[in-house]
Amino acid sequence: MQTHELAYHAAHPPLAIRRVEARVLSLTDAWMRVRWRIDGPDKLVVPSFAGKGRADNLWQTTCFELFMMPKDGTPGYSEFNLSPSERWAAYDFADYRDGMSQREFAREPDCTMRTGQSIAIFDASLPRSQMPEAPCAIGLAAVLEEEGGVKSYWALNHPKAEPDFHDPACFAACLARTRAA
């Protein structure tokens, strides 16, 4: 599957991070595996381990986000927030930032973070049965906090003066329907 280079929002530049890439690693009937790679993570703030569990406001520190909008002509979409702490959140929206409800998850996502001197890797596996059906437009994004509270906002596109991962223009990648593996 294709690797997507994310861009930081011009109003919120990073401190030391040089590059962020994201990609869907695999999509089967059981799991969707997504990876974010960060170049230059030496000042990255990684949330402490908290154990699996649903939590709101994960975007207030380092957090990785996936948005999915089925290509059925409706304006609804889903948002998945994934933290290195292993906390997560999942929401459905009826329209752009409207009609938010919690998306039910019977099985929690698996999240792992590996940080080295020059790169950091965040992997997430989400249960397919609890996610929108492909084909979908998708948005891959990250909020990355660095030392001193510096936050940068990374996405496929930034069409507005302030970061807004919910903007449909940010759903710039496509997830095609695949055969079971």
pLDDT given for residue 51 in this prediction:
93
β strands within the chain, DSSP E: 3-8, 19-27, 31-39, 53-54, 63-70, 77-82, 87-93, 101-102, 110-115, 119-127, 136-146, 150-155, 173-175
d(CA 2, CA 90): 24
pLDDT given for residue 173 in this prediction:
95
pLDDT above 90: residue 181: no
Q: What is the mean pLDDT of residues 158-166?
A: 96
Q: What is the mean pLDDT of residues 2-9?
A: 96
Q: In this structure, which amino acid lies at residue 41?
A: P
pLDDT given for residue 25 in this prediction:
94
Looking at domain 3-175, which CATH architecture does it have?
Answer: Sandwich (2.60)
Q: What's the pLDDT tens digit per position in 33-77?
A: 999 999 999 999 999 999 999 999 999 999 999 999 998 888 999
pTM of the model as a whole: 0.94
